[in-house]
Amino acid sequence: MALAASTTLSAPAQNVTDVFTNADFVKHVSETVGGELISFTISGPTTAAFTTQTVRTLPTTGMPDIVKKFVGATLTVTQDESWSAPAADGSRTNALTLTVAKAPVDISAVQKLSADGASTLVELTGEVTSGVPFLGAKIASAAEPVIGRALNLQATLAQEWLNTHA
């Protein structure tokens, strides 16, 4: 299943990058959805190319029954991100993958931060796949709206964070 989400945040691209890679913000996002941040690591300064890894647990309460059947009450998600160095205008890309422990779902996506002066267009495109024979498409289809809602929530929380932590 294809993923697509976009939003505009009222901050320069570097500020948006700094929020998305702030350990306190990542913890806040995890806790807002009832999860727990297990670990967050970042390699290198956010002003250049760098990578991050986030491991969190998330509740499955709002997920379809087919997903809960495989993973139970919580799931552990590992999110690996590889950020490009900023372009001359501050724009950058972030290749990310999410792996869900005990679940036959993989997510790969590219997040683009397009600088537009004092604003940043955040666009994410990707794909949700599942390797379960016969049920894979149904599992991926069930996971896609949940992931889409999570991405939209992250953007909303990022704007709130930018407004209150400037």
Domain ranges of the chain: 2-164
Tokens of 33: 């959805």
Asked if 20 and 165 count as a contact pair (C-beta separation under 8 A), the reply is: no
Higher per-residue pLDDT: 63 or 26: 26
Give the percent of the chain with pLDDT over 90: 52
Topology of the domain comprising 2-164: Alpha-D-Glucose-1,6-Bisphosphate; Chain A, domain 4 (3.30.530)
**pLDDT of res. 2:** 75
Please give the Cα distance from 25 to 72 (Å, whole number).
27
Residue 138 bridge partners (DSSP): none
Tokens of 81: 């991100």
Higher per-residue pLDDT: 151 or 78: 78
Mean pLDDT of 146-156: 73
Amino acid letter, 100:
V
Please give the Cα distance from 67 to 30 (Å, whole number).
19
Higher per-residue pLDDT: 31 or 166: 31
pTM value is 0.85
Angle, CA 53 vertex, CA 50 and CA 55 arms, to 5°: 165
**pLDDT of res. 22:** 96
pLDDT band at 20, cuts 50/70/90?
A: very high
